[in-house]
A and B are shown apart, each in its own frame.
Chain A
Amino acid sequence: MRIKLEKRAEPSRFMLFATPVAAVILTILIGAVLFQSLGYDGLGTVKEIFFTPILASYKWQDVATKAAPLILIALGLSLGNQAKVWNIGAEGQYIAGALAGALVAYFTPQVTSHWIIIPMILAGVLGGAAWAAIPAFLKTKLNVNEVLTSLMLVYVALQLLGYLVTGPWKDPNGHNFPQTAPFSDAQLLPHSIAGTVIPPGLVIAFGLMLVFWLVVSRSVYGFQVRVVGAAPSAARYAGFSANRTVWSTLLISGGMAGLAGILEATSQLGQLNLGFPSNYGFTAIIVSFLGRLHPVGVFIAGIVLAITYVGGQVAQTTVHVPSASGGIFQALMLFLILAGDVLVRYRLVFKS
């Protein structure tokens, strides 16, 4: 018997919704088998990674905290991915945003007004956008592939962070630890909104989700981005500029990553240190695809991936799997969602 792919006249709406759900379920099943065969407690691992963070209410704050940067970054990336502009350096833009925000904090330690948070956040957005402007410039002016340049800049940003926290920005009272001085009280956002488990970043992410939803589904710009991605020659014919799309999607996704970076720094860490980069920029790529590049989907997918982040840490202490386990589940999920894509566009025909 042979299996053949047959193109659907219309992408299947059912499959569009069903495949991400199926991908998560299959990830759980395959993951259980994989860990069992590697000599770990397979069912226990799956339970801790996917269910403990949902069932144990004291983990909710952790999930919400990790979901916020993932959603913020993935909202921006999804826009670029629709235009087939591949920004895979969000991790670098996330760091650059935090550094730019910290620069403002560095020069304003004596300011007591809470309004200082506004210029810090703006600097964060601009820092991330500026870091993404480099691949945008190289792509539009010199036709350099943005995949490699945006990624190389992650390593440059990591070194820049390392230099600043061990050199000029090192906390003089920090016992020689590689970290900046703590932000002042005025420069801090609360861990979570008073009386809830929701971090300020998640509220902002929810608001921006609505904005992105409106832009993607209702504006000419959103339409333009989709056409440039799906049918470049049609876009040219319609007068949509590919270069403008490259610039705008990279600046927006860089700015979103920078926003995530500064919010994380000011509401969670309260300073910058070598442990600041947490792979959110890379995981957000998975969030973007799992959420089907749709703002609402991204919001849900961000929470799912945050669960695996938190669950991965739980599983480390309870069933003693290595710290990389969460990452394996995330990679499996991305593979399965990409494989599931084929069912949206094609139908399987069985022939004997």
Chain B
Amino acid sequence: MTMDFIISVIITVVGISTPILLAATGEVIVEKSGVLNLGVEGMMLIGAITGFAVTFATLNPWLGVVAAASAGAAISMVFGVLVLSLGSNQVATGLALAILGIGLSTLIGTGFTGMIVPQFSSIFPSALSQDPFWRVIFGYSPLVYIALAMIFAVGWFLNKTRAGLVLRAVGENDLSAHSIGYSVIGIRYMAIAFGGAMAGIAGSYFSMVITPMWAERMTAGRGWIALALVVFAGWKAGRLVVGAYLFGALMTLELYAKASGFQFLPSQFWASMPYVMAIVVLAVISYRDRSGSEAPACLGKPFLPNS
């Protein structure tokens, strides 16, 4: 096994893991505030088409990413109004958001099939990003570094800042947080918007980095994997990285198995692996945490104090 091969495997794993990492980082904040948003897949698709369309129009991928984040946050507000202001069921509403995102992205995307957008240029000098060895550190899309920076930022925010403490308090005990004067609903709106923005960026990674093209349902269920990843990580930012790269390794295995014509197991076996693994991982994690002490105590429960 050559160094070159190992490096290209690492690059594939990191690249393919990044969108689920981005989306899961956002969802950790949402769930820490006590809200379960199942609509990640839909928000990702909205981000994917918006990022693509804006990049296509402006030829600037950075504007595309900003637009993807904004669109993700905007569509998440539909969910926010329903579950926060109207106290609707979070599971059903999240699902509605996923269905809406799938439909809306397909509708907007019909005009963009077959188009190509300019890609990000590397933020590092080509001496580093193109170097056969150093590309393992410097050769990624800027979004990969943004994803890692966001993990640190979110970990720091949750554990080291006062605002992070308040967010966790809202998710652990909404009534207490409310009674000492924090706006439970307001904080949850912000958390949902952040989750939407991160899912939007995650989606744009598909249409702007993985393939610089738009295709219907191109996120292919990765949004649901991101939700499983949050449980896997025990709602801790640091552990998300480990989990994301684990899933990334599985998806890479699928790619290599297909490319090498590796015939002793059918390609569908490899394609179903990330989902099977997600189930196994969820089972192991949930068994270890039978009492449910790791999950935010108010996760999924509506908060309507004046009723």
Interface residues of B in 188-229 (CB under 8 A from A): 216, 221, 224, 227-228
The answer to whether A282 has its CB under 8 Å from any CB of chain B is yes
Across the interface, A152 reaches (CB within 8 A) one of B224, B266, B287, B292, namely: B224
Picked from B88, B266, B268, the residue with its CB within 8 Å of the CB of A339 is: B88
Closest to B278 in A: A152
Interface residues of A in 295-350 (CB under 8 A from B): 321-325, 327-328, 330-332, 334-335, 338-339, 341-342, 345-346
A135-160 vs B, CB cutoff 8 Å, 1 = contact: the mask equals 00010001111011101110110011
Contact of B228 among A138, A143, A152, A339 (CB under 8 A): A152
Given A155-B272, A285-B95, A338-B96: A143 touches B292 (CB 8 Å cut-off): yes
Write the B95-131 contact mask toward A (1 if CB under 8 angstroms, else 0): 1100110111011101000000000000000000000
The number of residues on chain A lying at the interface, defined by a beta carbon within 8 Å of a beta carbon of chain B, is 49
B78 contacts chain A at the CB level, 8 A cutoff: yes
A149 lies within 8 A of B282 (CB): yes
Closest A residue to B41 by CB, please name it: A151
Measured CB to CB, the residues of B under 8 A from A are 38, 78, 82, 86-89, 91-93, 95-96, 99-100, 102-104, 106-108, 110, 216, 221, 224, 227-228, 231, 266, 268-269, 271-272, 275-276, 278-279, 282-283, 286-287, 290, 292, 304, 306-307
Inter-subunit contact B104/A322 (CB<8 Å): no
Cα separation A229 to B100 with both chains bound (whole Å):
27
Q: Could you tell me if B286 and A335 are in contact, using CB atoms closer than 8 angstroms?
A: no
A177 sits at the interface (CB 8 A): no
How far does the alpha carbon of A222 sit from the alpha carbon of B271 in the complex, in Å?
40
Per the bound structure, the CA–CA distance linking A334 and B97 in Å amounts to 9
Q: Given A152-B224, A332-B100, A147–B82 Cβ distance below 8 Å?
A: no
Is B272 in contact with A159, judged by CB distance below 8 angstroms?
Answer: yes
A109 at interface by CB-CB < 8 Å = no
* Alpha-carbon gap, A153 to B216, bound state (A): 21
Inter-chain contact A155/B275, CB cutoff 8 Å: yes
Subset of 10 A-B contacts with CB under 8 Å? A5-B304, A144-B279, A152-B224, A159-B271, A167-B266, A286-B99, A331-B104, A335-B93, A338-B86, A345-B87
Majority-rule SS of B interface residues: helix
Contacts A323-B106, A324-B103, A341-B86 known; 12 new A-B pairs at CB < 8 A:
A5-B307, A38-B108, A143-B292, A163-B269, A282-B95, A324-B216, A328-B103, A330-B103, A332-B100, A335-B82, A335-B96, A339-B82
Min CB gap B114→A, angstroms? 15
Measured in the bound complex, the distance between the Cα atoms of B227 and A282 in whole Å is 18
Q: How many Å lie between the Cα of A140 and that of B37 in the bound state? A: 23
Tally of contacts, chain A with chain B, CB under 8 A: 141
Query: What is the bound-complex CA distance between A147 and B100, given in angstroms?
Result: 18
B107 contacts which chain A residues (CB < 8 A)? Answer: 38, 321-322, 324-325, 328
- Rounded to whole angstroms, the CA-CA distance of A147 and B91 in the bound complex is 8
Contacting residues, chain A, for B292 (C-beta < 8 A): 143
Say if the beta carbon of A244 comes within 8 Å of chain B.
no
Cβ–Cβ contact B307 & A7, under 8 A:
yes
Q: Which residues of B contact A227 (CB under 8 A)?
A: none
State whether A156 and B92 are in contact (beta carbons under 8 Å apart), knowing that A144-B283, A338-B82, A342-B87 are contacts in the complex: no
Chain A residues within 8 Å of B268, by CB? 159-160, 162-163, 166
Most buried by B among A162, A166, A322: A322
SS class of chain A's interface: helix, strand, loop or mixed?
Answer: helix
Q: A143-B292, A160-B272 are in contact. Are A335 and B100 (CB under 8 A)?
A: yes
Query: Which residues on the B side are within 8 Å of A156 (C-beta)?
Result: 272, 275-276
| A331-B100 in contact given A148-B228, A148-B231 (Cβ < 8 Å) | yes
Q: Once the chains are docked, how many angstroms separate the CA of A6 from the CA of B306? A: 7
Q: Which residues of A contact B96 (CB under 8 A)?
A: 286, 331, 334-335, 338
The answer to whether B286 touches A341 (Cβ under 8 A) is no
Nearest CB in chain B: distance from A149 CB, A = 5
User: B275 to chain A: which residues have CB within 8 Å?
Assistant: 152-153, 155-156
- Smallest beta-carbon distance A173→chain B, Å: 22
List A residues 110-142 near B (Cβ within 8 Å): 134, 138, 142
| Interfacial chain B residues near A142, Cβ < 8 Å | 283, 286-287, 290
- Asked if B266 and A163 make an inter-chain contact with CB atoms under 8 angstroms apart, the answer reads yes
Cβ of A88 under 8 Å from chain B? yes
Task: Output the least CB separation between A346 and chain B (Å).
Answer: 7
Query: Are A330 and B99 closer than 8 Å at their CB atoms?
Result: yes
Q: Kindly state whether residue A4 has any CB partner on chain B within 8 Å.
A: yes
Closest to A7 in B: B307
Minimum CB–CB distance for B285 against chain A, Å: 8
A206 to B259, CA, bound (A): 50
Given the interface pairs A155-B221, A334-B96, A334-B99, the reply to whether A144 lies near B282 with Cβ below 8 Å is yes
* Nearest 3 pairs of A and B residues by beta carbon: A324-B106, A327-B103, A331-B100
In the bound complex, do residue B92 and residue A322 qualify as a contact, i.e. CB atoms below 8 Å apart? Answer: no
Provide the bound-state CA to CA distance between A345 and B86, in Å: 10
Query: A289 in the interface, Cβ–Cβ < 8 Å?
Result: yes
Q: Which residues from B are CB-within-8-Å of A149? A: 279, 282-283
**Closest chain B CB from A214 CB (angstroms):** 26
Docked complex: A17-42 residues within 8 A CB-CB of B: 38
A5 near B306: Cβ-Cβ < 8 Å: yes
**Bound Cα distance from A322 to B105, whole angstroms:** 11
Q: Known A163-B269, A334-B92, A339-B88; judge A327-B99 contact (CB<8 A).
A: yes
Residue in A5, A138, A327 whose beta carbon sits within 8 Å of that of B102 in the complex:
A327
Give Cα A147–Cα B36 distance, bound, in whole angstroms: 11
- The distance in angstroms between the C-alpha atoms of A143 and B275, with both chains bound, is 18
**Residue A86 CB within 8 A of the other chain:** yes
**Docked-complex contact A338 and B92, CB < 8 angstroms:** yes
Question: Quick check: A4 and B306 within 8 Å, CB to CB?
Answer: yes
B297 → chain A, closest Cβ, in Å?
15
Residues from chain A with a CB closer than 8 A to the CB of B306 are 4-6
Select from chain B the residue with minimum beta-carbon distance to A288: B92
Docked CA distance A97–B276 (Å):
19
Across the interface, which residues of A come within 8 angstroms of B269, CB to CB? 159, 163
Given contacts A7-B307, A342-B87, contact A148 B110 (CB under 8 A): no
